[in-house]
Homo-oligomer: A and B are copies of this chain.
Amino acid sequence: MIATRRVLSFALCIAAAALSPGALAVEQAAVKAKSMQELLDASQPSDWRTLDPANTLYLELASGRAPGDRVIIELAPAFAPEHVANIRALAKNGYWDGLSINRSQDNFVVQWGDPAEEDNDRKAIGSAKAKLPAEFSRSSDGLAFHALPDKDGWAAQTGFSDGFPVARDTREKRAWLAHCYGAVGAGRDVAADSSNGTELYVVIGQSPRQLDRNITTVGRVVQGMELLSVLPRGTGPLGFYEKIEQRVLIKAIRLVSEVPEAERTPLQVLRTDTPLFDELIEVRRNRRDDFYKRPAGHIDLCNVPLPARDQNAKKS
């Protein structure tokens, strides 16, 4: 909510804050999201899932505020199997280690990869593939899909598939990952099949849904968005940094399955195919706390919070 500090200290209110994709349960509790927090407090272990280490990346920046600060990305092999396989190979090879974030465009994306402009100067990709098919959408047959009750302007239907915000075309029977805040995609050139996962971007502003079905989306940021969203905006075309020293060094991008257990972040995310998640959507569609005077009776796909928590902090 848009509380003044006084309200906060009086603890009169409550809720309503748009949770960032990466907010931990600890932070959520602090947010005092009355109904949502009550729901989460009453959740069962079966309402949560642990990320698959083989489909999770840690992006570690030299600029992290504290040791252990990392961006955690869940990959979506159900939507972009070839790209995800390639990204796994690239991470295992340490491809991005020592490369940089080269672009930060306000209300749009941050993007990283090899900043070299000439082919000859580019870092070798090792066992990864140089060329992949475009994976803009997939068949909706056999796809777990938990529909939102509300209409969407960009697609016939929206909802969630195993934790990812997804849109679906019921006539064409296709589904795709939606470009919400925190979506991770594979930068490409003009040719549809010119991405190979070496160049990745994250949405840091209003959902650019016009990119849906125009680019291969490979996953989403589950925690740590605030490490990317605050990066100084680049002043070059498309928000690229103009000076080498402005680039943000990537310490490492690692596949979690390659990271020793002791170094992993104990993270769980809320399942999106449960009655609890339906309840959560409803309390966000219609805010019932004291702050809201007029519940919206609606929610957009990209406004639905996807809670995460420290799996050690909370064993309800």
Give chain A's interface residues, CB within 8 Å of chain B: 1-9, 12-13, 16-22, 30-32, 65, 102-103, 105-109, 111, 113, 115, 117, 136, 150-154, 180-182, 185, 187-190, 192, 199, 201, 205-215, 225-226, 229-233, 236-240, 284, 287, 290-296, 298-300, 302-303
Contact = CB atoms under 8 A, between A and B. Distances in A.
Contact of A210 (B30, B117, B287): B287
Contact of A206 (B5, B30, B151, B303): B303
B238 A17 contact: yes
Contacts of A111: 2
Q: Which 10 A-B pairs rank lowest in CB-CB distance, beginning with the nearest? A: A20-B106, A30-B237, A226-B233, A106-B226, A18-B108, A20-B107, A2-B187, A210-B296, A7-B189, A181-B206
Given A214-B292, A229-B229, A232-B230, A188 B107 contact: no
Q: How many copies does the complex hold?
A: 2
A215 B293 CA distance: 9
Contacts of A302: 206
17 contacts: A2-B111, A5-B102, A5-B240, A6-B117, A7-B189, A8-B237, A16-B210, A17-B108, A20-B105, A22-B106, A30-B237, A31-B237, A32-B237, A206-B303, A214-B291, A214-B294, A229-B229
Contacts of A3: 187-189, 238
B190 A4 contact: no
Interface of A is mostly: loop
B31 A238 contact: yes
A102 B3 CA distance: 12
Nearest to A14: B190
Contacts of A293: 136, 192, 213-214
B117 A189 contact: no
Contacts of A238: 1, 3, 8, 17, 30-31
Given A20-B107, A237-B31, A7 B208 contact: no
A124 to B, nearest CB: 16
Contacts of A213: 293-294
A154 B205 contact: no
A105 B31 CA distance: 11
Given A201-B2, A238-B17, A291 B190 contact: yes
Nearest to A289: B190
A160 B117 CA distance: 41
A298 B154 contact: yes
Contact of A150 (B8, B153, B284): B153
A40 to B, nearest CB: 16
Given A1-B238, A189-B4, A212 B21 contact: no
